[in-house]
Amino acid sequence: MPLPPRCIVGLSAVPSERDLRREKMLLWVSDSGQKIGIFIPFLRKRRPTLPRSCENCARRSSEDFYRADLGSLGFRDALRVTEENTRYRGWLVRRICGLIAVSGWKIPVDVSQDLPERIWNSRRIREITSGRSFASGGDNDSQRRWKEKVMELLAEIHSPLSFFLLRFCHWILLKVLNRLLVNLQVHRGQTATALRATATSNSPLVFLSTHRSQLDGLLLSFVVFSQGMGALRVAADERLWSRNLRAFLKRLGAVFLPAPKEERRKEEEEALADAVAAAYVEEVLRSRQPLLILLEEPSAWRRLSARARRWLAMVLGAVRDGAVPDVLLVPVGISYDVVPGGFRGEGLSPLGVGGCVGAAARALRRRFGCARVDFAQPFSLKEFVSRLRPFPPEPSPEELWFPSALGAAAPDGQTAPEPPRAEQEETEETSIGIHCLCDAISCSAISSVGVTAALLLHRHLQGVLFSRLMVDFVWLLEEILLRQRDVGFSGRLRAVLEHSLGLLGPRVALRRLSALGDALVLPDDSVEAVRELGYHSDAVVTVFGSEAVGACAVRAALLELLPLVPSSPDAVSAVILGEKELHRKILELLRLLPTPLVGLQPCQPPELQSRHVLEKLLLCGILEPEETEPKRRRCDLAPSFREKWDGESGERSDSDGDGGAPERCFRLSEPQGSPGFFRFLCRLLHPTLRTFSRAAAFLDRPTWPQPEEAYVEALMDFLDEGDGFVLPTRTLALGSLQSFKNLGVLEELRSAAGSQLRLSELFRSDARRERLRAFIQRFTD
């Protein structure tokens, strides 16, 4: 089967009428004053390469560290090491060029040799040990015991780097990755930007990455080492590795938090473990060693992990305490054609040496296609924190849910209790983590397997001709590039499509049609196949997340008007939707869905996000502005049946009632050159919304209160009982749990026995829970 070439180039296509029309749209100014640049990927051969930092949170960093000239440096395959990468030439060099290149990679000086003494004399340790006795010993004996405990904790966290093992294992990793992957693409301009930024600011780099596989830490360590950015310290999860393997990985740069003991530690010992970890992070940053923090849960993507929040808190504390003047944060996106280790990513158990060798042997039997690592523009942590401002208070659950979901008004004279705010919205480190997670997702390249899986799952689940799939592939590729998201593949269209179908393997069947000179592509209709296609197409959902939210909001508004719309083919296109109603539904849906899913900046207030969604619907052609008369009704219909609407709803005015400007109205339309685009957008969020609806139905079953982990496992079993198109993944289950917490449906109780979940008083009645489920279903039915 032909495979995509290693060099990434722009795909070519015959310019269509839609391309020529969009070529004139060089700049479009939205109503909110934002300028959105439009580029034509096929006609102008332009591709996004250097993602810039957020203008709202890191404006100075965006200006200081961005270099437009670095965008022309192009890509390189980090796994392709030839004699050109060495100082030597010749027959023998060509056969051992990898070993020679690895031996020449620069390793900066490790942390200082007196690290144990520096940790022991740090301010954090002195605050805990001063004036406190350990066990029953005297002062000297107590200090000795404290020091032994500190050294024991430090040994759990850190081991000195072994330069020989580091080079040898990276050479082995180079060989293994060449067997697993077709190529590993890295943009030269992105790595040059990170190196120039750290040299200019004299600040250490902290990489904040997405987490899709257990291979991510090793892969990023190899990339950072091979690109001359130093030996990476990886904040690893001790739950994923056995004790013996952790000891080996620490010699290669892995850093582990002190593992919790089976017996409950005393309060002083817990505080001491946190202090030792924080002091160690300060020393790593002071020595300017790069640090990697994996942001996502190992079993659930698009969800910031508690462990990542803990590491970010220590980095932020090091800057606050003056251990380092500043830190440069670099969001990192990793994309695979096929994620090594399978698509489930759940039920992970500690991996030992034998298990690691067995997993490597099984993985070497197949290739996982292409991989790509994208580095977003670095930005200053100190600047981000200085610009971090609390957002305006969001409406309480009663203000949002009573009129829309519960069908009643909040009782007069009563103040509704404030819902419990999630911890990830209250702390600075969580705000940083959520923002960097969204940036890392937005800079990740889209794989060819992801594009193919999205088309098969959301457009052609019943089968499609190969020639038709090629046309839709080009269409979806153009839409992705127009949204300034890059792709991680290149080459001839037929070869790229055959490559992606080959990697999907048994989930897709091809039937040759000799009479037509074509082939029929048939996705497997099993639940397992639908789950895997949904997993592969997950990255495409984030590209169109904001438009998908708007499309589902428009669909919900249309469904409410169906009883008033005559049964004619053109009736839906005759419905006129008011701006206020659309904003209200978009806000409701934005509040329901996880932030990293919709592809919007989390630092923007919800009202601005809603306006941005509406403007993107206008830009892509889903909605068209409707010129209305001064007395035209909000959510009006065509003139032929306007009288029926007036008779049932009464007179309504466009204005706000205070002499303001008339409200804008819109009409649903079909974008030229994109038939079925509206339905495709609605289908993208269908698995998520259906899972949330099923999770709302599940609220009737548990006995409250109960532990969070027990709730998630029971919810997963309940989702498995549903229809096949509901993808019962742990990610969606955890996403529904977090949304229900944020919306005040579930409350979290903390006690000595652990965290417990219970239903809030507002949703303890069967009628309220049924209305909650109906509220979610109206966005997807």
pLDDT at 25 over 70: no
Structure tokens given for 522: 């048939």
Regarding pTM above 0.75, the answer is: yes
CA dihedral 550, 551, 555, 556 (to 10 degrees): -30
The CA distance from 157 to 238, in Å, is: 10
Q: What is the pLDDT of residues 493-523, one digit of tens each?
A: 899 999 999 999 888 998 998 888 889 999 9
CA distances from 215 to 211, 229, 615 (A): 9, 19, 39
Mean pLDDT of 215-237: 91
pLDDT at 385 over 80: yes
Q: What is the pLDDT of residues 427-455, one digit of tens each?
A: 788 889 999 999 999 999 999 999 999 99
- Say if domain 76-129+161-339+349-386 classifies as CATH 1.10.20: no
The CA distance from 261 to 254, in Å, is: 20
Q: List Cβ neighbours of 437 (8 Å cut-off, separation of 6 or more).
A: 208, 210, 295, 296, 302, 304, 331, 596
| Of residues 32 and 63, more confidently modeled | 63
Minimum mean pLDDT among 568-582, 630-644, 677-691: which range?
630-644
What's the DSSP call for residue 759? E
pLDDT at 7 over 60: no
CA 447 to chain centre: 15
- DSSP string of 520-575? EEEE--SHHHHHHHHHHTHHHHHHSHHHHHHHHHHHHHHHHHGGGS-SSTTHHHH-
What pLDDT is attached to residue 281? Answer: 94
The pLDDT confidence band at residue 726, using thresholds 50, 70 and 90, is low
Minimum mean pLDDT among 48-62, 550-564, 568-582, 596-610: which range?
568-582
What pLDDT is attached to residue 404? Answer: 55
CA-wise closest residue to 709 among 745, 734, 743: 734
What pLDDT is attached to residue 664? Answer: 87
CA distances from 622 to 129, 150, 389, 551 (A): 64, 61, 34, 8
By the 8 A CB rule, do 473 and 530 touch? no
| Of residues 193 and 144, more confidently modeled | 193
pLDDT at 120 over 70: yes
- Say if domain 1-27+446-541 classifies as CATH 1.10.10: yes
Q: What angle do CA 491, 497, 498 make, to 5 degrees?
A: 105
Residue 281 carries which side chain, given as an amino acid letter? V
pLDDT at 568 over 60: no
Reduce the DSSP state of residue 250 to 3 states and report it.
Answer: helix
The CA distance from 505 to 10, in Å, is: 26
Q: Which residues pair with 755 in a beta bridge?
A: 750
The CA distance from 61 to 377, in Å, is: 8
CA distances from 581 to 234, 404, 573, 663 (A): 48, 11, 17, 10
pLDDT at 26 over 90: no
What pLDDT is attached to residue 655? Answer: 41
The CA distance from 715 to 734, in Å, is: 9
Mean pLDDT of 25-36: 34
The CA distance from 774 to 349, in Å, is: 38
CA distances from 631 to 583, 651, 655, 705 (A): 21, 9, 9, 54
Characterize the bridge pairing of strands 370-375 and 183-187: parallel
The pLDDT confidence band at residue 27, using thresholds 50, 70 and 90, is very low
pLDDT at 535 over 70: yes
CA-wise closest residue to 292 among 392, 196, 209, 390: 209
What's the DSSP call for residue 403? I
> If phi over 0 gives left and psi between -120 and 50 gives alpha, with beta otherwise, what is residue 703?
beta
Q: Which residues pair with 28 in a beta bridge?
A: 36
> If phi over 0 gives left and psi between -120 and 50 gives alpha, with beta otherwise, what is residue 389?
beta
Reduce the DSSP state of residue 681 to 3 states and report it.
Answer: helix
What pLDDT is attached to residue 277? Answer: 92
What pLDDT is attached to residue 660? Answer: 53
Reported as type and span, the H/E element at residue 330 is strand 328-336
CA-wise closest residue to 504 among 373, 370, 368, 372: 368
Q: What angle do CA 682, 605, 296 make, to 5 degrees?
A: 65
**Helix, strand and coil percent figures for the chain, each rounded to 5:** 50, 10, 35
Which segment, 55-69, 96-110, 486-500, 551-565, is predicted with the most confidence on average? 486-500
Start and end residues for every CATH 3.40.1130 domain found in the chain: 76-129+161-339+349-386
pLDDT at 278 over 90: yes
Mean pLDDT of 753-769: 84
CA distances from 102 to 113, 224, 475 (A): 25, 12, 42
What pLDDT is attached to residue 359? Answer: 76
The CA distance from 564 to 585, in Å, is: 19
Q: List Cβ neighbours of 711 (8 Å cut-off, separation of 6 or more).
A: 702, 737, 757
Q: Which residues pair with 292 in a beta bridge?
A: 207, 234
What pLDDT is attached to residue 47? Answer: 61
Mean pLDDT of 173-196: 91
The CA distance from 745 to 723, in Å, is: 25
The pLDDT confidence band at residue 421, using thresholds 50, 70 and 90, is very low
CA 529 to chain centre: 23
Reported as type and span, the H/E element at residue 758 is strand 754-759
By the 8 A CB rule, do 50 and 66 touch? yes
Q: What is the mean pLDDT of the chain?
A: 79
Reduce the DSSP state of residue 645 to 3 states and report it.
Answer: helix
> Would you call 479 exposed, middle or buried from its count of C-beta atoms within 10 A (0-12, 13-18, 19+)?
buried
Residue 557 neighbours by CB distance under 10 Å: 20
Residue 244 neighbours by CB distance under 10 Å: 11
The CA distance from 243 to 761, in Å, is: 45
Q: How far apart are the first and last CA of the chain?
A: 41
Q: List Cβ neighbours of 95 (8 Å cut-off, separation of 6 or more).
A: none
Minimum mean pLDDT among 103-112, 268-277, 321-330, 719-728: which range?
719-728
The pLDDT confidence band at residue 141, using thresholds 50, 70 and 90, is confident
Q: What is the pLDDT of residues 638-696, one digit of tens each?
A: 443 334 334 343 444 444 444 456 778 988 888 887 888 999 999 999 889 998 999 99
- DSSP string of 265-319? PPHHHHHHHHHHHHHHHHHHHHTT--EEEE-EETTEEEEE-HHHHHHHHHHHHHH
CATH topology of domain 685-777: Arc Repressor Mutant, subunit A (1.10.10)
pLDDT at 185 over 90: yes
What pLDDT is attached to residue 544? Answer: 94
- DSSP string of 457-481? HHT-TT-EEHHHHHHHHHHHHHHHH
Q: What is the percent of the chain with per-residue pLDDT over 90, rounded to a whole number?
A: 30
pLDDT at 240 over 50: yes
Reduce the DSSP state of residue 747 to 3 states and report it.
Answer: strand
What pLDDT is attached to residue 379? Answer: 93
What pLDDT is attached to residue 19? Answer: 43
Q: List Cβ neighbours of 551 (8 Å cut-off, separation of 6 or more).
A: 617, 622, 678, 681, 682
Reported as type and span, the H/E element at residue 585 is helix 579-592
Omega within 30 of 0 (cis) for the link into 705:
yes
The CA distance from 371 to 378, in Å, is: 22
Q: What is the pLDDT of residues 295-344, one digit of tens each?
A: 988 777 788 888 999 999 999 999 998 899 999 999 999 999 998 875 44
The pLDDT confidence band at residue 9, using thresholds 50, 70 and 90, is very low
Count how many Cα atoms sit within 13 Å of the Cα of residue 536 in the half-sphere of its side chain: 29
The pLDDT confidence band at residue 210, using thresholds 50, 70 and 90, is very high
By the 8 A CB rule, do 534 and 687 touch? yes
Reported as type and span, the H/E element at residue 665 is strand 665-668
Start and end residues for every CATH 1.10.10.10 domain found in the chain: 685-777
Q: Using alpha carbons only, how large is the chain's radius of gyration in Å?
A: 28
